[in-house]
Structure 1
Amino acid sequence: MITNSVEQENELLDKAFRASPCLMAISAISDGRYIKVNKCFEETTGFSAEEVVGRTSIELNIFDTPTRIKVTELLINQGTIKNIEASFRRKDGSNRVGLFSAEIIEFNGQKCILSVANDVTELRNYEKEVSKLERMNLIGQIAASIGHEIRNPMTTVRGYLQLLGAKADYMAEKATFDLMISELDRANEIIAEFLSVAQMKKDELKSKNLNEIISNLYPLIEADAFTQNKQICFIPGVIPDLKFNVKEISQLVLNLTRNGFEAMEERGYLSIRTFTEGKKVVLQIEDEGSGISPECLNKLGTPFFTTKDYGTGLGLATCYKIAENHNAKILINSSSCGTNICVLFPI
């Protein structure tokens, strides 16, 4: 009778293990080799049970060595861990984020680790997007509330500086007046960027082809390339018309191309491509710069964050706002060979 009860309990636990919506795995604590994984583990990681059992997470490149050591040490010291956030890799090489919990158990006569993980990648991505939107809304509120009030007295000061600089009594100080005026102009440009972010609206959308918008801008982009001794190429694909705010999309293209030019040495090559991918129209801008560090990559689009000596950190923030207004997404991949930016517009 007791034997039947134990068998029923084991069968129930096995069913719960296999049917769990979380990633579950049992591995030997001695060498880390997997003994058993559930269906969710297979589906999320892309590895079949046959590929996993008998191998370690390090051999499969699911976890790196420091992560495995950290988890094992915590388990040995505490006997259990709960909701430790760590990244893991799928079979295809893509990274995911999981909340891991684990306990030491005895399984088939040996000490093992029972690990349970929730894939929270989408949640973390959503939180980042919400945080970015909150920052954009904050900057818009600041711009709307103080932008005009700052601009008006600056205009007055600039006018008096021009008048004084033109007088014979102050000719010796003309260079100083010119410097002050140029600094006021720079401050005014920053405020203008503030206001452009604050005043963007989702209306004023007209049916237009992205290729036509870029073609109209191309002489200006070519002029930028020429003055910086850079190379530029536009490769238009066959794409459908979409609803665009032409002024905003023009600003987005100019901001992204100018960022690309500034990232490259002389004779660097920048390409602009358009194409369809599934149910998306893709604008791809690729440069041959030195790339963006992972630390900076995570901060891109944050207002005021810039790697330029004289940048405001609003150019890319404006691009993200424009993309949001068009229900589009900006994806950035970067390496030491250059940066690839894709703007995905839904069809």
Structure 2
Amino acid sequence: MKHIKQDRNQKLYYLTAFVSTILMVIGVLFFNPRSGGTDPGYIFHCVLVLLLSASLFIYPRYGSHFFRKTIITIASLYLYMLFFLYPDTWSSFTLLCFIPAFSILFFDSKLFYFSFVFNFLLITLTFIYIIFFDQGNEFAHIKLDVFGNINNFLGTQVILYFIFHLTSQRIKKQQMYYERLQQSEKLKTTGQLAAAVAHEIRNPLTVVKGLLQFYETNNSFSKEGKSHLSLMIEELKTAEHVLSQFLAIAKPDEHQHMETVNVRDALQSVTGLLMSYGLYHQNKIDLQVDEDLYITANTIEFKQLFMNLVKNAVEVSTKEDFVVIRAEQKNKEIIIKVIDEGFGMSEEQVQALGTPFYSLKSKGTGLGLMICFNIVEKYKGTIRFQSAVNQGTTVTVRFPMSFSGGLIKKQEAWV
């Protein structure tokens, strides 16, 4: 179904590009007062039509930010060319006002701000030319009410920015909703699987481990035999650890003690515990946390969450790299970021995080991150991974701010 939808969108895009190209060609060949000669302006018009048409048809093959910026630049030059070469066409000025609107169609915020600033610069130069340098009557309709035209241009820019802002916010909310929905489905599937596995495997493992420990104390076994028994016991402990992680996901403790967690103190504790681990990997952990940050959670689970995230960051970092932990308050949220400069992940790998048994480690189970997702969801937070191959990873965790933290601080001050 998704493939069919993508095909429809692609067909619609090519149809739009084809119609746009036909209209531009008609503008060049038919009813054009400059056609049929060697006028430099007409030649420039033809070149821009060719470049813009080619860019529109080539874009789906690449789709990069640079290519989108190239299309917007060529389109802007094309519309300004129409304005200056054909001043009698009054609607050309209207098109100049709506140049940033084209970038909204690409859903690229950087592209919108680029076109917004670029168009503002070009329109400023245009008005300077018309007011101070134009000696003819080609732009009389602009000169008759310069202030009104400038005011209308500014008004359209405000409207376009408002539309862009609302559209961008709505897309972000939809994206967060679908991410939560996907994660909820992953947790549900893993929980069902974990309950079944735990019920069937835990008791046999306990029996086998007990017998092996009994035989380990038997002096009739050789030294080599005992070493084999010790190895088997250690492997069983590993299996029990994985099983415990399953149970943490399948049957989370809903009645755990909730408290107001001082984020700074908790993260300092995590950093202290992992400092030697970081030094072992020849990495340093840099803690940058604002004061007076509080959330409502279970302290043990909060530390477990960031022990997992920071430990992962250290393991993927190269020697001498810093792992940075930042925490701040913004819009009634506590935002905590764990930043590493490791090998990073592709978009497909990021999307797969949290899937049962998916891990980028050779001996990983993927359950550690599942527990992280579970803890964050339990306390009505969000977790997001931003990563690029060979550029590191930033994990952003957001929790609702606890308003009781300030009250606790005041009570401590009174004491």
Q: Same fold (TM over 0.5)?
A: yes
Residue 305 of structure 1 corresponds to which residue in structure 2?
Answer: 358
Q: CA deviation at 1:328?
A: 0.9
Structure 2 counterpart of 1:338, from 389, 392, 401: 392
Residue 66 of structure 1 corresponds to which residue in structure 2?
Answer: 61
Structure 1 counterpart of 2:380, from 321, 327, 342: 327
CA–CA distance in structure 2, aligned partners of residues 215 and 154 of structure 1: 37
CA–CA distance in structure 1, aligned partners of residues 109 and 22 of structure 2: 18
Q: Deviations over 1:207-263 (max 9, x none)?
A: 122112112223212122122222111111134322112111111100000100110
Q: Deviations over 1:32-76 (max 9, x none)?
A: 8899xxxxxxxxxxxxxxxxxx89598699x933289xxxxxxxx
Sort the Cα spacing of 1:296 and 1:148 in 2 relative to 1 into closer, same or farther, 3 A: same
Residue type matched to 2:348 in 1?
E
Structure having the larger proportion of residues in strand: 1
Judge conservation of contact 1:299–1:305 (CA < 8 Å) in 2.
yes
Sort the Cα spacing of 1:123 and 1:216 in 2 relative to 1 into closer, same or farther, 3 A: closer
Residue 92 of structure 1 corresponds to which residue in structure 2?
Answer: 110
CA–CA distance in structure 1, aligned partners of residues 342 and 228 of structure 2: 37
Q: Deviations over 1:97-148 (max 9, x none)?
A: xxxxxxxxxxxxxxxxxxxxxx977556534432321221222233234415
- Give the 3-state SS of the residue equivalent to 2:110 in structure 1: coil
Counterpart mapping for 1:264-303 below 5 A: 264-303=317-356
Return 155-164 or 256-265, whichever deviates more: 155-164
Q: Is residue 151 of structure 1 aligned with residue 202 of structure 2? A: yes
Counterpart mapping for 1:57-206 below 5 A: 64-66=59-61, 88-93=106-111, 123=174, 126-171=177-222, 172-201=224-253, 203=255, 204-206=257-259
Return 128-137 or 184-193, whichever deviates more: 128-137
Residue type matched to 1:163 in 2?
F
TM-score for the superposition, normalised by structure 2:
0.56
CA–CA distance in structure 2, aligned partners of residues 30 and 60 of structure 1: 9
CA–CA distance in structure 2, aligned partners of residues 235 and 58 of structure 1: 49
In the comparison of the two structures, how many residue pairs are matched?
263
Q: Is residue 218 of structure 1 aligned with residue 271 of structure 2? A: yes
Sort the Cα spacing of 1:59 and 1:89 in 2 relative to 1 into closer, same or farther, 3 A: farther
Q: CA deviation at 1:201?
A: 4.4
Counterpart mapping for 1:241-260 below 5 A: 241-260=294-313
Gaps (5+ residues) in structure 2? 1-12, 26-48, 64-104, 113-169, 402-415
Judge conservation of contact 1:292–1:339 (CA < 8 Å) in 2.
yes
Larger radius of gyration: 2
- Give the 3-state SS of the residue equivalent to 1:302 in structure 2: coil
Sort the Cα spacing of 1:143 and 1:344 in 2 relative to 1 into closer, same or farther, 3 A: same
Sort the Cα spacing of 1:269 and 1:345 in 2 relative to 1 into closer, same or farther, 3 A: same
Judge conservation of contact 1:256–1:285 (CA < 8 Å) in 2.
yes
CA–CA distance in structure 1, aligned partners of residues 239 and 24 of structure 2: 61
Residue 20 of structure 1 corresponds to which residue in structure 2?
Answer: none
Residue 102 of structure 1 corresponds to which residue in structure 2?
Answer: none
CA–CA distance in structure 1, aligned partners of residues 264 and 56 of structure 2: 44
Sort the Cα spacing of 1:122 and 1:288 in 2 relative to 1 into closer, same or farther, 3 A: same
Judge conservation of contact 1:271–1:286 (CA < 8 Å) in 2.
yes
Sort the Cα spacing of 1:128 and 1:332 in 2 relative to 1 into closer, same or farther, 3 A: closer
Q: CA deviation at 1:339?
A: 0.8
Q: Deviations over 1:68-102 (max 9, x none)?
A: 9xxxxxxxxxxxxxxxxxx94424259xxxxxxxx
CA–CA distance in structure 1, aligned partners of residues 24 and 358 of structure 2: 44
Gaps (5+ residues) in structure 1? 1-22, 36-53, 69-86, 95-118
CA–CA distance in structure 2, aligned partners of residues 310 and 142 of structure 1: 20
CA–CA distance in structure 2, aligned partners of residues 159 and 337 of structure 1: 47
Residue type matched to 2:209 in 1?
R
Judge conservation of contact 1:32–1:57 (CA < 8 Å) in 2.
no
CA–CA distance in structure 1, aligned partners of residues 272 and 202 of structure 2: 32
Residue type matched to 2:110 in 1?
D
CA–CA distance in structure 2, aligned partners of residues 120 and 265 of structure 1: 36
Q: CA deviation at 1:160?
A: 1.1
CA–CA distance in structure 2, aligned partners of residues 89 and 28 of structure 1: 21
TM-score for the superposition, normalised by structure 1:
0.67
Q: Is residue 315 of structure 1 aligned with residue 333 of structure 2? A: no
Sort the Cα spacing of 1:56 and 1:212 in 2 relative to 1 into closer, same or farther, 3 A: farther
CA–CA distance in structure 2, aligned partners of residues 198 and 210 of structure 1: 27
CA–CA distance in structure 2, aligned partners of residues 34 and 340 of structure 1: 45
CA–CA distance in structure 2, aligned partners of residues 147 and 326 of structure 1: 25
